[in-house]
C-alpha cells in the first residue's frame, strides 16, 4: 500500500458538518478513486484509527474505511437500514477531535447497506464493536461528530 497520506481535518472545520454526496458507479470504478481509497486507508493506519471517513480529510463524499477487526474494508455510500432498539455505551474518540473522548450510546446491532470498492452492493448485519465503528463513520458522512451525541465528555483523562 502506498504510504502517502492525507492531512486530517480538525473540528471546527465547517466541512465536517456537511452531508456528503453519493458516489456514482462511474466514479467508484476509476483508477483514481481506487488509489484514493488506498491513500485514505493508509491515513487511517498512520493515525492509529479504526475508521476514517472522507469528510475527515476534507472531501464530502460518502466513502469510509473501517478496520474494527484487523481487516481493512472500504465502503461507499453506506447507510444504516435497520437498527436494534437495544443501545450500548461506548467510549469514543475521533481523529478530527484530538484529545477528547466521550461516552456515546449506539445501537447494539445494525443492518448496513453499502457498496464495496468494486461497486458491488452488500447488505450485512453487524454487532458489537464493528457496529459502533460503522455508526461513527456513517455519522461522519452525514455531518455528525461523536461530540454531538456524547452523554459525557472526557478530555485528557478528566471528565468535562
The residue annotated as part of the active site, out of 89, 91, 122, 137, is: 137
CATH code of the domain made up of 14-159? 3.90.45.10
pLDDT value of residue 158:
46
Q: Does 107 score more than 90 pLDDT?
A: yes
Binding residue positions: 94, 136, 140
Distance CA 99, CA 160 (A): 12
> pLDDT (tens digit, 9 = 90+) per residue, 134-154?
999 999 999 999 999 999 998
pTM: 0.94
Residue ranges of the domains in the chain? 14-159
Q: Does 159 score more than 70 pLDDT?
A: no
CB-based burial, 8-18: b 16+ in 10 Å, e otherwise: bbeeeeeebee
pLDDT value of residue 156:
64
Average pLDDT score over residue span 111-121: 98
First-to-last C-alpha distance (Å) of the chain: 39
CB atoms within 10 A of CB 156: 8
Distance CA 92, CA 146 (A): 7
Active site residue 92: no
Q: Does 1 score more than 90 pLDDT?
A: no
Binding residue positions for Fe cation: 94, 136, 140
> pLDDT (tens digit, 9 = 90+) per residue, 37-91?
999 999 999 999 999 999 999 999 999 999 999 999 999 999 999 999 999 999 9
Q: Which three cell numbers stand for residue 97?
A: 477531535
Amino acid at each position: 500500500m502506498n504510504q502517502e497520506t492525507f492531512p486530517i481535518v480538525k473540528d471546527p472545520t465547517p466541512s465536517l458538518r456537511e452531508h456528503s454526496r453519493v458516489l456514482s458507479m462511474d466514479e467508484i470504478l476509476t483508477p483514481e478513486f481506487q488509489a484514493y481509497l488506498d491513500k485514505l486507508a493508509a491515513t487511517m493506519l498512520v493515525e492509529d484509527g479504526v475508521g476514517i471517513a472522507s469528510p475527515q480529510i476534507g472531501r464530502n463524499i460518502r466513502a469510509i474505511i473501517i478496520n474494527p477487526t484487523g481487516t481493512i474494508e472500504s465502503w461507499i455510500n453506506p447507510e444504516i437500514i435497520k437498527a436494534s432498539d437495544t443501545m450500548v455505551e461506548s467510549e469514543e474518540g475521533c481523529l478530527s477531535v484530538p484529545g477528547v473522548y466521550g461516552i456515546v450510546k449506539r445501537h447494539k446491532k445494525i443492518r448496513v447497506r453499502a457498496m464495496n470498492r468494486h461497486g458491488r452492493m452488500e447488505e450485512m448485519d453487524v454487532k458489537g464493536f464493528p457496529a459502533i465503528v460503522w455508526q461513527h463513520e456513517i455519522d461522519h458522512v452525514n455531518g455528525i461528530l461523536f461530540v454531538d451525541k456524547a452523554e459525557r465528555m472526557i478530555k485528557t483523562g478528566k471528565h468535562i
